[in-house]
Amino acid sequence: MVRRLNRREALAAGAGAFAAGLGSATGPARALNDYAEQIAKFTGGRTPVEGRVKLELPELAENGNTVPLSVAVDAPSGEGAHVQEILVVAPANPNARVIRFRFSPLSVPEASTRIRLAATQDVIAVAKLSDGTFFSASRQIKVTIGGCGG
């Protein structure tokens, strides 16, 4: 009987030194969860406008279990409309909701954390402003599934 490689092994073995296997071959758009509903719930059904949100993720995750993420919104704080919340969703995670940041009117709308990602996907951040407008950004990240064993 031959031993079965896990996905990470198989990819790495096949890809070898330079071209390690990356992410889901079914493409970044694959959605396994209710991320669209989660966004709709967050926005009250409004469609967020793309822009003003800066979402930072590595292009390739070294370890899908702990991926550095930072998000910032280009919006004035302290006066006028301010950022109240930022929702981050991962369409190809078992659970769409990754994190929700809340800000006071005096907060600088920036936050960093580490998140877990199951597969290659477009992570989406949606910002809610106090005037009821919503802005969003998405960013593709490639994830080696099972890469935790590496």
- What is the pattern of x (binds other proteins, CB under 8 A) and - over residues 12-41? xxxxxxxxxxxxxxxxx-------------
Q: Note whether 142 and 23 are within 8 A (CB).
A: yes
CB of 90 to other proteins, least distance (A): 18
Under the binding rule (CB under 8 A), the answer on residue 9 touching other proteins is: yes
Query: Judged by CB under 8 A, does residue 58 bind other proteins?
Result: yes
Q: What is the DSSP string of 58-118?
A: -SB-S-TTSEEEEEEE----SSSS-EEEEEEE-TTSSSSEEEEEE--TTS-SEEEEEE---
Per-residue DSSP letter, 141: E
- Residues 97 and 73: beta-carbon distance below 8 Å: no
Choices 10-18, 42-50, 101-109, 121-129 (CB under 8 A): range interacting with other proteins: 10-18
Instruction: Please choose, out of 11-19, 40-48, 99-107, 123-131, the segment that lies near other proteins by the rule CB under 8 A.
Output: 11-19
* Pair 82, 76: CB distance under 8 Å: yes
Please report whether residue 11 would count as binding other proteins according to CB under 8 A.
Answer: yes
* Site for other proteins, residues 64 to 83, rule: CB under 8 A: 66
What are the beta bridge partners of residue 71?
55, 111
Interface pick for other proteins out of 3, 44, 45, 79 (rule CB under 8 A)? 3
Pairing of strands 49-50, 134-141: parallel
Out of 44, 59, 79, 94, point to the residue binding other proteins (CB under 8 A): 59
CB of 24 to other proteins, least distance (A): 8
Residues that bind other proteins (CB under 8 A): 2-28, 58-60, 62-63, 66, 120, 140, 142, 144, 147, 149-150
